[in-house]
A and B are shown apart, each in its own frame.
Chain A
Amino acid sequence: MLYGTVTSDGTGVQGVKITATNDSGFSGEATTDAKGAWEIKTPKSGTYTVTLDEATLPDGVALTAESGNTRTVNALLGKVRIQFPTGEGTGGGASKAEQAVQLTVDGLLLGLILALAALGVSLIYGTTGLTNFAHGELVTLGALSTYFYSAVLHLPLVISAVLALISCGILGALQDKVLWKQLRRRGTGLIAMLVVSIGLGIFIRYLFLFFFGGATQQFPEFSGQEGLELGPLAITPKAIIGAIAAIIAILASIYWLLKTRMGKASRAVADNPALASASGIDVERVINVVWILGATLAALSGILVGLTSGVSWNMGQQILLLIFAAVTVGGLGTAFGALLGSIIVGLLIQLSTLVIPPELKSVGALFILIIILLVRPQGLLGRRERIG
Chain B
Amino acid sequence: MDWNTIISQTITQAVGVLAVIYCLAAVGLNVHFGYTGLLNFGQSGFLAVAAYGLAVTVANIGLSFWAGIVVGIIAAILLALLLGVPTLRLRADYLAIVTIAAAEIIRLIVRSVTFREWFGGSDGITRFADSFYALNPFSGPLALGPLKFSQNDLWVVTVGWSLVALTSLLVWSLMRSPWGRVLRGIREDEDAVRSLGKNVYAYKMQSLILGGVIGALGGFVSAIAFQSVQPDTFSTDFTFFAYTILILGGAARIFGPIVGTMIFWALLVFIGEFLSEAVSAGVITFITSTQVGQIRFMLVGLGLMMLMIFRPQGIFGDRKELALDAR
Contact = CB atoms under 8 A, between A and B. Distances in A.
Judge A-B direct contact (beta carbons within 8 Å): yes
A360 B102 CA distance: 13
Contacts of A342: none
Contact of A206 (B102, B240, B294): B294
Given A34-B116, A206-B298, A360-B112, A200 B93 contact: no
B114 A34 contact: yes
B289 to A, nearest CB: 13
A131 B96 CA distance: 10
A373 interface: yes
Interface residues of B, number: 51
Given A202-B237, A210-B294, A370 B101 contact: yes
B92 interface: yes
A377 B98 CA distance: 12
A194 B109 CA distance: 28
A363 interface: yes
Q: Most A CB atoms within 10 A — which of B89, B101, B117, B304?
A: B101
B114 A210 contact: no
Interface in A179-226: 183, 186-192, 194-196, 198-207, 209-210
B113 A14 contact: yes
Contacts of B295: 206, 210
Interface string B270-312: 0000000000000000000001001101101111111111001
Given A210-B294, A370-B98, A195 B301 contact: no
Contact of A357 (B104, B114, B312): B114
B327 interface: yes
B112 A196 contact: no
A127 to B, nearest CB: 15
A3 B105 CA distance: 32
Contacts of B86: 370, 373-374, 377
B310 to A, nearest CB: 10
B108 A360 contact: yes
A285 B113 CA distance: 50
Interface of chain A: mostly helix, strand, loop or mixed: helix
Given A11-B113, A187-B326, A377-B90, A199 B101 contact: no
B297 to A, nearest CB: 4
Contacts of A321: 100-101, 104
Given A189-B327, A198-B243, A373 B301 contact: no
Contact of B297 (A206, A367, A369, A373): A206
A370 B79 CA distance: 13
A273 interface: no
B101 A195 contact: no
Contact of B93 (A14, A186, A332): A332
Contact of B114 (A194, A202, A206, A359): A359
A185 to B, nearest CB: 12
Interface in B151-202: 191
B51 to A, nearest CB: 19
A266 interface: no
B130 interface: no
A310 interface: no
B70 interface: no
Interface string A360-377: 101100110110011001
Interface in A1-34: 11-14, 34
B93 A194 contact: yes
B216 interface: no
A194 B60 CA distance: 40
Contact of A191 (B39, B116, B303): B39
Given A199-B244, A324-B97, A377-B89, A206 B105 contact: no
A35 interface: yes
Contacts of B297: 202, 205-206, 209
A328 interface: yes
B98 A369 contact: yes
A387 interface: yes
A165 interface: no
A384 to B, nearest CB: 11
Nearest to A362: B108
Contacts of B97: 131, 324-325, 328, 369
B304 A195 contact: yes
A186 B298 CA distance: 25
B101 to A, nearest CB: 4
Contacts of B308: 188, 192, 195-196, 199
A357 B113 contact: yes
Contacts of B90: 373, 377
Interface string A167-188: 0000000000000000100111
B247 interface: yes
Contact of A199 (B87, B100, B304): B304
B26 to A, nearest CB: 14
A199 B303 contact: yes
A362 B106 CA distance: 11
Contacts of A189: 325, 327
A192 B325 CA distance: 11
A362 B305 CA distance: 29
B93 to A, nearest CB: 5
Q: Most B CB atoms within 10 A — which of A198, A204, A325?
A: A198
A14 B294 contact: no
B94 interface: yes
Contacts of B307: 199
A183 B294 CA distance: 27
B327 A200 contact: no
A202 to B, nearest CB: 3
Interface in A337-388: 357, 359-360, 362-363, 366-367, 369-370, 373-374, 377, 385, 387-388
A299 to B, nearest CB: 21
A366 B105 contact: yes
A199 B247 CA distance: 12
7 nearest interchain CB pairs? A203-B301, A202-B301, A199-B304, A199-B305, A206-B297, A366-B101, A374-B86
Interface of A: 11-14, 34-35, 131, 183, 186-192, 194-196, 198-207, 209-210, 321, 324-325, 328, 332, 357, 359-360, 362-363, 366-367, 369-370, 373-374, 377, 385, 387-388
15 contacts: A14-B113, A189-B325, A191-B37, A191-B39, A192-B312, A196-B305, A196-B308, A199-B303, A206-B294, A209-B294, A321-B100, A324-B100, A360-B109, A360-B112, A366-B104
